[in-house]
Structure 1
């Protein structure tokens, strides 16, 4: 059969390679160049290599704990059971994970993991190494590649997907296919501050919503706690804290312990909120103190971060560096089963665009690259199977909110500011209602998109409305979704210096 894979991160490339190796005709359509997106930016590693005191069961337990009780245990089981095979596959495809002098894989620990079970490549360049290896394998195959191809819509025949509609060089182009695998990533560009690249505009989620696919858990947006607060957003890997770096306030105090007994190694949502609150209280960014690790260790273990900090005039080997939270990862997305099937026959979703059930209310560090590899392979394996119905999770409907009769002028910056203030790290009922009213007014007044930028804005608006609606419907705070008592409170904004 003809299979179109939309996207070219770890999930999409893995799915494409497995589908091709199973004998299918595969077309990869990607908005930018092959390999653009979040995967090559990933500094963290791939969880799933277990030492003598560790196991898949303990990895599953840590994943479920981080998910705050909302992860699907069956999806988590699939993730950890397939971890070894997928990591071995990456090695076979040429990913040179870091090793000790005796040849053993070096294992790192990150927040909310009880054991060191994470493999890295190039210290803090794991995603780039994975992307290079998978792109090389794709280019050596006869997989068809279409770059500069924006997903406009999914094409349906009755209730089944029959292909994709793309925008390429300003012209609409259709590709007929028996199966479509969405691997378009998340929607980090919803927010004023994000670690995501410019292309993370929620195109796949928006197309799925327009086609009638079930979407769930969009309210769970993970904010990475430590993004460099000097210059453009640059993520400082959680692995730095896993190696012993600490978070300190202006008084030099490790303030995160006030919130959680694990301090800097608490789940990301806990650390991010503690950081944002302390920064707002003191009126300046908090600082990441990695000086105890030493200059030699920092260069060896984190060469990319070390280079960027020095380019920005910082010497993190000798002084703490300012950091701030930023939108990082979307736990929700298009609802799938354990093999990537969605509620629309013929349509699969893998990677960050998908809601597999693995992450629940909060993603465990270094599970995202693993999830992309595991479920990309599982989706490809399911192409030859008969279609199984996929149940849509039941959800409480959000209260009705009328469009704002006099909204502020629309622009992407205005949208990102609104989402940061009212649908960000700290949320209130009033703020969510205000955001939803503005978003619905903008949607009603926005003309049909024509250009790439207009299509991206339309996708962001659609996903923003669904995110705000889901956040308003979920009254109780849990995981990455935090609701403050009703009052006029915006998410603290930490200005870069």
Structure 2
């Protein structure tokens, strides 16, 4: 049976940055990172835009960034949290730069700051259009240099274990599947940090990779953690339309900040009818405008028009996007790029305080799986990487000062089962996943929703899953992921239903 002082579940920017900070603060602690695939497989690696930080105090200010964030969040942000995050941003940025992360500068040596929807100033630091890949690469290199961190790839955490302590639950360890040996095992831990990312795969159309199955939300919920604001799923307005592909390729917000236009089938811009900022309105407004345009026209997409832009400069800024377009036969210099809004980011999640603590003792959550109060009901572009850094920092400070008072649980756990799993990739789970994705897509596409009918269908899917488990008598990785998706989907539906009835008391 393994033991770790700190178990981190997930390998995106939040988990890796936390691990680095914690390892440097406390080299005496053993830190384990478990990730269900390769360490590089995360939403962080796919982030194109960059990180929002106020660096120009002449044109810009913390206060402007704070107000942009609050306005984008539709009045649902926690202002104290917003101020904490934005005021910390320069320090956290310096820490990234200190480990070698490179951000673009112009010829004079000053930051080449990008502009994105909802921002009143240019304040996005970026590395071309592969900012997440650059950050992830440097974080992984740093992790590999720290001897008190051990990375366990292909380790799928199934559930965390808790015990009651004076009536209050505290986490003591986790059951996981070692996918290489196809066995279920157990690890004891004094503290567990969830950094598992989002749940975009609940939807038929998403920018999220196949690993984004809401694992952390499901694990936390089953353990009794409070989930909050999970109904606020952000749709990105400019995903490259390629039919039924999943995931969709993201065309960064920064492309619109660079000057690209959104046009309809008649080659006319239409976003200004919805907001005076046009293409630089917040994501919720732009996505809704596109959806209404598609509904009116009966078309499956609208277009992003980059043809009027300086192509040489465009390619310098967006080589990844340009090259991808060209691989499917599109040239941004001469062709219109078909785009559509798709599920992109989970604004709510596991409820945490300013120290990243959940309501379960010794259980923390950071990154997209957490609900911090920063985003409200709509995330401001490029605030997510910043949030991950700040709350990783907050958690590391809190755990550094509290972990010495935590002991390993003395409770005996039956673990390290010799019976292997089977990797059951049957048509049953493929079809169940498609059915669930269709239900969730309807939930967010239709103005009138029969919540009870959707929940009944989910209950039926749950029974099918139990039947498959009984039939095979094996817990499989595919079963775990689908069960997590179903758990999170039900919470999302119930949260939407609660919000609907609160708004419509006479319904």
The TM-score, its normalising length taken from structure 2, stands at 0.87
Number of matched pairs: 457
Q: Confirm or deny: 8 A CA contact 2:465 2:479 kept in the other structure.
A: no
Once the two structures are overlaid, the 10-residue window that deviates more, 273-282 or 199-208, is 273-282
How far residue 386 of structure 1 moved from its aligned partner, in angstroms, is 4.5
Q: 1:451 aligns with which of 453, 466, 476?
A: 476
Q: For 1:316 and 1:467, how far apart are their aligned partners in 2? A: 37
Q: Find the counterpart in structure 2 of residue 259 from structure 1.
A: 274
Listed as ranges, the gaps of 5+ residues in structure 2 are 404-428
Q: For 2:161 and 2:235, how far apart are their aligned partners in 1? A: 34
How far residue 436 of structure 1 moved from its aligned partner, in angstroms, is 2.0
Q: Find the counterpart in structure 1 of residue 262 from structure 2.
A: 247
Q: Find the counterpart in structure 1 of residue 452 from structure 2.
A: 433
3-state SS, counterpart of residue 461 of structure 2: helix
The TM-score, its normalising length taken from structure 1, stands at 0.89
Q: Find the counterpart in structure 1 of residue 40 from structure 2.
A: 35
3-state SS, counterpart of residue 474 of structure 1: helix
How far residue 49 of structure 1 moved from its aligned partner, in angstroms, is 2.8
Q: Find the counterpart in structure 2 of residue 280 from structure 1.
A: 295
Pair 1:195 & 2:198 matched: no
The 3 A distance-change label for structure 1 pair 444 and 74 is farther
Per-residue Cα deviation, 1:435-462 (whole angstroms, up to 9, x for no partner): 2221133224421571111100000000
Moved over 4 A (4+): none
Pair 1:471 & 2:496 matched: yes
Q: For 1:384 and 1:298, how far apart are their aligned partners in 2? A: 45
Per-residue Cα deviation, 1:162-192 (whole angstroms, up to 9, x for no partner): 1111111221121111100000001010000
Per-residue Cα deviation, 1:13-64 (whole angstroms, up to 9, x for no partner): 0111111111132100001111311001000110013311211111111101
Q: Find the counterpart in structure 1 of residue 153 from structure 2.
A: 147
Q: For 1:385 and 1:219, how far apart are their aligned partners in 2? A: 34
Q: Find the counterpart in structure 2 of residue 80 from structure 1.
A: 86
Q: Find the counterpart in structure 2 of residue 308 from structure 1.
A: 324
Q: Find the counterpart in structure 1 of residue 63 from structure 2.
A: 57
3-state SS, counterpart of residue 374 of structure 2: coil
The 3 A distance-change label for structure 1 pair 72 and 425 is farther
Once the two structures are overlaid, the 10-residue window that deviates more, 251-260 or 90-99, is 251-260
The 3 A distance-change label for structure 1 pair 133 and 208 is same
Q: For 2:502 and 2:119, how far apart are their aligned partners in 1? A: 23
How far residue 82 of structure 1 moved from its aligned partner, in angstroms, is 1.1
Q: Confirm or deny: 8 A CA contact 1:273 1:425 kept in the other structure.
A: no
Determine which structure has more spread, i.e. the larger CA radius of gyration. 2
Per-residue Cα deviation, 1:352-382 (whole angstroms, up to 9, x for no partner): 0000010010000000111111111111111
How far residue 74 of structure 1 moved from its aligned partner, in angstroms, is 1.4
How far residue 417 of structure 1 moved from its aligned partner, in angstroms, is 1.0
How far residue 420 of structure 1 moved from its aligned partner, in angstroms, is 0.7
Q: 2:310 aligns with which of 294, 303, 320?
A: 294
Q: For 1:383 and 1:19, how far apart are their aligned partners in 2? A: 8
Q: Confirm or deny: 8 A CA contact 2:54 2:65 kept in the other structure.
A: no
Listed as ranges, the gaps of 5+ residues in structure 1 are 388-407, 487-497
